[in-house]
Amino acid sequence: MALNLIMLGPPGAGKGTQAERFAAAKGIPKISTGDILREAVHTGTELGRRAKAIMERGELVSDEIVIGIVRERLDRDDVKAGFILDGFPRTVPQAKALDAIMAGRDPLIVLNIDVAHDVLVRRLTTRLICQDCGTNALVEDAAAGAGSRCRKCGGPMVQRADDNAAVVLERLKTYQRDTKPLVEFYGARPTYRSVNGAQAPDTVTAELEAAVAALGAMSKGAASGARA
Ligand code: ADP
Ligand code: ZN
């Protein structure tokens, strides 16, 4: 059974960090629409040119564009054993498009990371990322400030273009309006789980892993029940 995961939650909830851990632990690709778009902006492709100003304002790139990106990505062979989506879907139309893409595949497991507004503002406006590989600074390294070096690749640690206070508030507003409704959209599904993201990253990882393991055991139980 393929491990098809999506990671929901507000900006700053820790989706990227947790998605990366899952991908490494399970050997499945992490697909982050934010990373794909930032990469396109960085290399100056047509997509990047269209997305840059929108991202700098903290608004959402059009559903049409990101759905196209994800549809193409989920067509590749390396997602056969599963994948983890980070930052997609972000709107109800994107979620509906994903359901259509997933038709005939193993069910989606939907993981939500829940964090209060004031905690998010603090996290986002103080975080640093590596300019070269996008890795988030560890909490203890962020204290070293801008200009410190990435643990993974040695690149310079900088503030993300959209992590300044004004844009952070805009992104949180966008989340409330466009993305929060997904909790309602997915909440009733038997494969939906939500964890408290205002805990140590390792605790969040442990709770997410426990949730996925429990769902896996449930689906195996259901499968053997069907055979009996
Ligand atoms: P965040 O830290 O806000 O979760 P991401 O790295 O996921 O940031 O995304 C950064 C920006 O890229 C978003 O603010 C948005 O402009 C754009 N973006 C990423 N994913 C999507 C998506 N699924 N739909 C629309 N826009 C997106
Ligand atoms: Zn790096």
Of 15, 21, 30, 38, the active-site residue reads 15
d(CA 158, CA 116): 25
6 lines ligand 1 (CB under 6 A): no
Q: For position 147, what pLDDT does the model report?
A: 77
For the whole prediction, is pTM greater than 0.85?
A: yes
Active site residue 171: yes
Q: Which residue has the tokens 């410190």?
A: 148
58 lines ligand 1 (CB under 6 A): yes
- Among 18, 31, 33, which residue has the most ligand 1 atoms within 8 Å of its CB, making it the best to mutate? 33
64-117 pLDDT tens trace: 999 999 999 999 999 999 999 999 999 999 999 999 999 999 999 999 999 999
Buried b (16+ CB within 10 A) or exposed e, 144-176: eeeebebeeeebebbebebbeeebbeebbebbe
**53 C-alpha to ligand 1 centroid (Å):** 12
Give the dihedral of Cα atoms 149, 125, 44, 98; nearest 10 deg.
110
Domains and CATH numbers, the chain: 3-28+81-115+170-227 (3.40.50.300)
Segments of the chain scoring below 50 in pLDDT: 227-228
